[in-house]
Structure 1
């Protein structure tokens, strides 16, 4: 049996024919990965008609009026009412921010949401994500073995820019794969 290797801080890029419409053309940042579970945030799917101001309004936060026009993303099918701020680590909430990789963290607090509205305090780059993708023990490893996902290194543009429609093809291009050349069926040599 091979030794466990964490994918925290890596991107998962969905293969064509993934078999789950919730993850078609998905680009997911793995935020936590241990032997018994994995958690990631999908970064290419804006929530229709929802922006940061709307979320803060719904939470009745006084900072809502100062919120920048910023889309909110659908991070995955699990716990869609729960929000996560993915941000650069130049901003940090002690005891609440979870490091993802060098330079990146996630924070799921009202304090993080309030910081997004304050130009003097907010992180250099950030995005609010609702929900997450989760895997149980061995599930992600099985999917990787079954050619469901490719792995890639994240770039700030893939993580934070608002060109969501091209993130999948750009993530593939980043690892030297032309999306048009991928097959919807996998095999083993």
Structure 2
């Protein structure tokens, strides 16, 4: 409990949503809905759960790894972020734990090894999961600095309910869960 409890302290935000504000100034992060998986004194790592890679299903991804993904044609693969886009990550329920699985919050874990993909393909993996390629990463202090400027909004924890929301709606829904109507946000400001 010690390390997990530390991650929930006001200083670190692992397990929460990091939402790009309109006008963030980077097309890579336009309407990004990032599930912060790691955030500590060494930096941060998150997975954007709001952008699907068009034309790529989990079955296609598994076929490239010589894993039979029969029945997984309708499972999308997310664009997790601009860093290391060939590297895969799986956000998953805590009913599964593999060789490198780490707990992110009370509902989700993160894995980055082939054993979780094999388990999903063999129907012995986690009950709930999101598969992504790439991630968003920040060096020590970088995210905190960016959060002080216009660009990021710290949302609530990401819960299992996120799976019921279409990927393209997760950004607005995460704002709504924090009591913010994303339609009312402006990317620029004026002068009085």
Using structure 1 for the length normalisation, give the TM-score.
Answer: 0.89
Q: Do residues 90 (structure 1) and 95 (structure 2) align?
A: yes
Deviation, 1:102, is: 1.3
Deviation, 1:147, is: 2.7
SS in 2 for 1:65: coil
Inter-CA distance 84–64: structure 2 relative to 1 (3 Å threshold): same
**Structure 1 stretch displaced more, 32-41 or 146-155:** 146-155
Report the counterpart of residue 69 of structure 2 in structure 1.
64
Q: Which consecutive unaligned segments of at least 5 residues does structure 1 have?
A: none
**Structure 1 stretch displaced more, 128-137 or 65-74:** 65-74
- Tell me, in whole angstroms, the C-alpha distance in 2 between the residues paired with 1:186 and 1:151: 20
SS in 2 for 1:101: coil
Q: Do residues 48 (structure 1) and 51 (structure 2) align?
A: no
Report Cα offsets for 1:43-68 as digits up to 9, x if no partner: 0100110011111111112x333545
Q: Kindly report the root-mean-square deviation, in angstroms, between the aligned alpha carbons of the 2 structures.
A: 1.9
Q: How many residues align?
A: 181
Using structure 2 for the length normalisation, give the TM-score.
Answer: 0.88
Contact conserved, 1:75 with 1:132, CA < 8 A, in 2?
Answer: yes
Contact conserved, 2:38 with 2:104, CA < 8 A, in 1?
Answer: yes
Contact conserved, 2:107 with 2:159, CA < 8 A, in 1?
Answer: no
- Pairing of 1:94-109 with structure 2 (within 5 A): 95-109=99-113
Report Cα offsets for 1:39-96 as digits up to 9, x if no partner: 00000100110011111111112x3335452000000000011001110010111x41
Q: Which consecutive unaligned segments of at least 5 residues does structure 2 have?
A: 1-8
